[in-house]
């Protein structure tokens, strides 16, 4: 099935965007659209990130690592999920954290059991790329450890979270290369194969920059003839050279500024490139249509209060025009990071959709 999309959601989206439009948003209003603890969390990230980005384009990596809250892997199942770290490429130090459901028979796996074959006719394996605008966070950041654990539960999947190299120390294409390395590694693990067809059933997922990486790794996968069953993009990070309406309307209103977005693209893209580089703008003037290419189905989540939503919607449009199956979830009153804490309706809606998206495999 190549055509798709949810016309209903789209219509609702266009209607509601027309109705929104108040420019009189200040800090107070920002606080009214998210729960207080979410506001505190995202604001403290915003604050910390402001300290880390230097005007000359360098990044205070030491302070970033000091401030980032990390959690170790845990072989003891917590809520039915255990995790362990694997070094999959010594040359680049590429680590992945693997999350598996604990089975009833082996409630406490020992180190020998880690790579025991998965059991099941169909076992989805989700390769997850954490967000952070290409510069922040790690696979062992607490917020992403939490998110990955949840994905295991709702999708009955194995989740492989990739600790890709970050900007500005490592620009394009390092993150994509690491994603590709991880993809090949996952695809070649016999213990991750579903029993039905002795193949690894791979989904790619990511939020923010991770969503962007997921797209590009999927593109590379199909080019290499390896199947990807689906892409899950949460507030994916895309952009372009022009300033769009949503960027101007929402600049600085909900935790994010255009200025910081620009900084991150400058940090990630090759020096001298602008935001119409295909990494940033895959369906832009330098992009490439996916027409005729067997690209996986996509679930794209867009937050209605995210200033880059025009680019995200353009991405969805680009997929549609090329005849690719895509479901858009437009979460009208959602801000960035809404999926980090389970204290809002958007969160639960999206988790249900993800569960269905992965579960619809047979």
Partner 1 sequence: MLRYDSTSSSAGSSSGSLSSSSSSSKPPQQDIDGLLAGAGYKVRSSELRQVAQRLERLETAMGNSPADFSQLASDAILYNPSDLVCWVDSLLTEFAEPPPTCSSDFIVDPVNNQTVVNSAWTTAEPHTPQVHQNITYDEQQSLDNQLTVVTAMEEDSGIRLVHMLMTCAECVQSGDLSLATSLIGDMQGLLTHVNTVCGIGKVAGHFIDALSRRIFQGMGGGSVNGGSAFENEILHHHFYEACPYLKFAHFTANQAILEAFDGHDCVHVVDFNLMHGLQWPALIQALALRPGGPPLLRLTGIGPPSPDGRDSLREIGLRLAELARSVNVRFAFRGVAASRLEDVKPWMLQVNPKEAVAVNSIMQLHRLLGSEQTRNSPIDTVLSWIRGLNPKIMTVVEQEANHNQPGFLDRFTEALYYYSTMFDSLEACRVQPEKALAEIYIQREIGNVVSCEGSARVERHEPLAKWRRRLSGAGFRALHLGSNAFKQASMLLTLFSAEGYSVEENEGCLSLGWHSRPLIAASAWQAVPAWDNHMSSS
Question: Looking at 31, 156, 184, 199, which residue binds partner 1 (CB under 8 A)?
Answer: 31
Closer CB to partner 1, 15 or 62, in the complex = 62
* Contact status: 32 vs partner 1 (CB under 8 A): no
The catalytically annotated residue of 138, 141, 161, 208 is 208
Torsion region of 71: left, alpha or beta (phi above 0 gives left; psi -120 to 50 gives alpha)? beta
Closer CB to partner 1, 170 or 335, in the complex = 170
Q: Establish whether 208 is a catalytic residue.
A: yes
Question: Looking at 223, 348, 356, 360, which residue binds partner 1 (CB under 8 A)?
Answer: 348
The DSSP code for 191 is: G
Each residue 34-53 as x (binds partner 1 by CB under 8 A) or -, in order, gives: --xx-xxx-xx-xxx-xxxx
The least CB distance from residue 38 to partner 1, in Å, is: 8
Is the C-alpha dihedral spanning 301, 277, 137, 124 positive or negative? Answer: positive
Closer CB to partner 1, 162 or 351, in the complex = 351
User: Rounded to the nearest 5 degrees, what angle is found at the Cα of 18, between the Cα atoms of 12 and 24?
Assistant: 125
CA-based radius of gyration for the chain: 20
The tokens for 243 are 């300033």
* Binding residues among 170-189 for partner 1 as defined by CB under 8 A: 170
Question: Looking at 9, 11, 12, 72, which residue binds partner 1 (CB under 8 A)?
Answer: 72
Count of residues in contact with partner 1, rule CB under 8 A? 72
* Contact status: 67 vs partner 1 (CB under 8 A): yes
Task: Find the part of the chain contacting partner 1 (CB under 8 A) among 15-23, 32-40, 122-130, 180-188.
Answer: 32-40
Closer CB to partner 1, 113 or 273, in the complex = 113
Distance CA 145, CA 296 (A): 26
Distance CA 73, CA 138 (A): 13
Task: Find the part of the chain contacting partner 1 (CB under 8 A) among 106-114, 211-219, 223-231, 316-324.
Answer: 106-114
CA distance from start to end of the chain: 14
The least CB distance from residue 243 to partner 1, in Å, is: 20
The least CB distance from residue 168 to partner 1, in Å, is: 8
Closer CB to partner 1, 6 or 43, in the complex = 43
Q: Is 114 exposed, middle or buried (0-12, 13-18, 19+ CB in 10 A)?
A: middle
Closer CB to partner 1, 52 or 222, in the complex = 52
**For strand 158-162 and strand 201-207, is the pairing parallel, antiparallel, or unpaired?**
unpaired
* Binding residues among 9-28 for partner 1 as defined by CB under 8 A: 27-28
Partner residues linked to 233 by β-bridges: 206, 300
The least CB distance from residue 295 to partner 1, in Å, is: 30
* Binding residues among 308-347 for partner 1 as defined by CB under 8 A: 340-343
Distance CA 87, CA 90 (A): 7
The least CB distance from residue 63 to partner 1, in Å, is: 6
The least CB distance from residue 206 to partner 1, in Å, is: 18
CB under 8 Å to 250, separation ≥6 — which residues?
Answer: 256, 305, 306, 307, 309
* Binding residues among 108-167 for partner 1 as defined by CB under 8 A: 110-112, 140-143, 145-146, 149-150, 153-154, 163, 165
What are the start-end ranges of the H helices in the chain? 7-19, 27-33, 36-52, 61-67, 142-155, 174-187, 209-223, 245-250, 258-268, 309-321, 345-359
Distance CA 262, CA 239 (A): 9
* Contact status: 222 vs partner 1 (CB under 8 A): no
Supply the residues annotated as catalytic. 208
């Amino acid at each position: 099935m190549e055509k798709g999309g949810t016309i209903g959601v789209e219509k609702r989206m266009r209607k509601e965007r027309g109705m929104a439009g108040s420019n009189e948003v200040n800090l107070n209003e920002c606080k009214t659209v998210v729960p207080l603890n979410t506001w505190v969390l995202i604001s403290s990230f915003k604050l910390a990130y402001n300290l880390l980005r230097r005007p000359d384009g360098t990044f205070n990596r030491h302070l970033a690592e000091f401030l980032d809250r990390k959690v170790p892997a845990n072989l003891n199942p917590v809520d039915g999920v255990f995790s362990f770290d694997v070094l999959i490429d010594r040359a680049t130090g590429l680590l992945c954290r693997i999350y598996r459901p604990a089975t009833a028979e082996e409630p406490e796996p020992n180190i020998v059991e880690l790579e025991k074959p998965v059991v099941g006719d169909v076992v989805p394996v989700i390769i997850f790329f954490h967000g952070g605008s290409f510069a922040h966070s790690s696979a062992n950041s607490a917020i992403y450890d939490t998110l990955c654990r949840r994905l295991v539960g709702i999708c009955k999947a194995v989740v492989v979270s990739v600790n890709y190299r970050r900007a500005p120390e490592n620009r394009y294409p390092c993150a994509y290369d690491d994603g590709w390395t991880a993809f090949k590694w996952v695809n070649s693990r016999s213990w991750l194969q579903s029993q039905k067809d002795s193949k690894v059933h791979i989904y790619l997922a990511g939020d923010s920059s991770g969503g962007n990486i997921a797209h590009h790794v999927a593109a590379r996968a199909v080019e290499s003839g390896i199947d990807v069953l689906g892409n899950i993009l949460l507030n994916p990070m895309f952009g372009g050279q022009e300033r769009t309406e949503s960027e101007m309307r929402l600049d600085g209103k909900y935790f994010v500024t255009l200025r910081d977005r620009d900084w991150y693209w400058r940090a990630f893209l090759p020096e001298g490139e602008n935001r119409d580089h295909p990494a940033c703008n895959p369906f832009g003037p330098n992009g490439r249509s996916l027409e005729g290419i067997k690209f996986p189905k996509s679930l794209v989540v867009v937050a209605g209060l995210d200033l880059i939503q025009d680019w995200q919607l353009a991405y969805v449009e680009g997929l549609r025009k090329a005849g690719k199956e895509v479901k858009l979830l437009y979460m009208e009153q959602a801000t960035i990071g809404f999926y980090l804490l389970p204290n809002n309706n958007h969160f639960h809606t999206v988790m249900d959709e993800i569960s269905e998206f992965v579960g619809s495999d047979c």
